[in-house]
Amino acid sequence: MKRTRNVKVVATLGPASDTHEMISALHAAGADVFRLNMSHGSHDEIRVKHDIIRQIEKETGSTIGILADLQGPKLRVGVFAGDSELLVEGAPFRLDLDEAEGNASRVCLPHPEIFAALEPGASLLVNDGKIRLKVKDCGPDFANCEVVIGGVISNRKGVNVPDVVLPLAALSEKDRADLEFVCDLGVDWLALSFVQRPEDVLEARKLAKGRAALLSKIEKPSAVARFEDILEVSDGIMVARGDLGVELPIQNVPPIQKRLVRKCRAAAKPVIVATQMLESMIESPMPTRAEVSDVATAIYEGADAVMLSAESAAGSYPIDAVRTMDNVATEVELDPTYTQIIEASRAADRMTVADGIVAAAREIAETTNIKAICCFTQSGTTGLLIARERPRVPIIALTPLAKTAGRLTLSWGTNCVVTERLDRFKKAVVSAVRAARDEGYAEPEDMVVVVAGVPFNVEGSTNILRVAPCDESLIFSADPD
- Residue at which a domain ends, from 335, 363, 384: 335
C-alpha span between 294 and 290 (Å, rounded): 6
Q: Residue 175 has what pLDDT?
A: 97
**In this structure, is residue 37 part of a structural domain?**
yes
Task: Tell whether 320 and 259 lie within a shared domain.
Answer: yes
**In this structure, is residue 340 part of a structural domain?**
no
Q: Residue 478 has what pLDDT?
A: 55
Task: Tell whether 39 and 93 lie within a shared domain.
Answer: no
Q: Residue 481 has what pLDDT?
A: 44
Q: Which of 217, 226, 323, 390 is catalytic?
A: 217
Structure confidence at residue 479 as a pLDDT band (50, 70, 90): low
CA nearest to 242, candidates 274, 283, 195: 274
Contact (Cβ atoms closer than 8 angstroms) between residue 175 and residue 149: no
Q: Which of 54, 76, 259, 346 is catalytic?
A: 76
**In this structure, is residue 166 part of a structural domain?**
no
Model confidence pLDDT, tens digit, residues 236-247: 999 999 889 999
**In this structure, is residue 412 part of a structural domain?**
yes
Structure confidence at residue 471 as a pLDDT band (50, 70, 90): confident
C-alpha span between 317 and 339 (Å, rounded): 31
**In this structure, is residue 348 part of a structural domain?**
no
Task: Tell whether 288 and 325 lie within a shared domain.
Answer: yes
Structure confidence at residue 203 as a pLDDT band (50, 70, 90): very high
Model confidence pLDDT, tens digit, residues 333-389: 999 999 999 999 887 666 789 999 999 999 999 999 999 999 999 999 999 999 999
CA nearest to 398, candidates 441, 365, 343, 356: 441
Task: Tell whether 128 and 196 lie within a shared domain.
Answer: no
> Rounded to 5, what percent of the chain is helix, strand, coil?
40, 25, 35
C-alpha span between 137 and 144 (Å, rounded): 5
Q: Which of 35, 49, 197, 269 is catalytic?
A: 35
Tally the domains of the chain: 3
CA nearest to 156, candidates 214, 223, 110: 110
Q: What is the mean pLDDT of residues 80-98?
A: 97
Q: Does 480 have pLDDT greater than 50? A: no
Q: Does 148 have pLDDT greater than 70? A: yes
Structure confidence at residue 476 as a pLDDT band (50, 70, 90): low
- Residue at which a domain ends, from 135, 160, 185: 160
Task: Tell whether 243 and 263 lie within a shared domain.
Answer: yes
C-alpha span between 151 and 104 (Å, rounded): 11
Task: Tell whether 29 and 102 lie within a shared domain.
Answer: no
Of the listed ranges 81-90, 267-276, 416-425, 468-477, the least confidently predicted one is 468-477
Say how many C-beta atoms besides its own lie within 10 A of residue 276's C-beta.
Answer: 16
What are the angstrom distances between the C-alpha of 467 and each of 352, 353, 362, 428, 461? 21, 18, 12, 12, 19
Model confidence pLDDT, tens digit, residues 36-87: 999 998 999 999 999 999 999 999 999 999 999 999 998 999 999 999 999 9
- Residue at which a domain ends, from 105, 134, 160: 160
Q: Which residues contact 293 (CB under 8 A, 6 or more apart)?
A: none
Name the strand (E) or helix (H) holding 324: helix 318-334
Task: Tell whether 187 and 330 lie within a shared domain.
Answer: yes
Domain that holds residue 369: 353-478
Task: Tell whether 126 and 188 lie within a shared domain.
Answer: no
Q: Does 145 have pLDDT greater than 50? A: yes
**In this structure, is residue 77 part of a structural domain?**
no
CATH value at residue 396: 3.40.1380.20
Q: Does 152 have pLDDT greater than 70? A: yes
Q: Does 458 have pLDDT greater than 60? A: yes
Question: Is 76 among the catalytic positions?
Answer: yes
Task: Tell whether 176 and 154 lie within a shared domain.
Answer: no
- Select the more confidently predicted residue: 322 or 456: 322
Task: Tell whether 33 and 109 lie within a shared domain.
Answer: no
Task: Tell whether 257 and 314 lie within a shared domain.
Answer: yes
Q: Could you tell me the pTM of the whole model? A: 0.93
Task: Tell whether 156 and 175 lie within a shared domain.
Answer: no
CATH value at residue 224: 3.20.20.60
Q: Which of 12, 63, 275, 377 is catalytic?
A: 275
CA 321 to chain centroid, in Å, comes to 18
Query: How does DSSP assign 56-106, residue by residue?
Result: HHHHHT---EEEEE------B---BTTSEEEEPTT-EEEEES--SPB-SSE
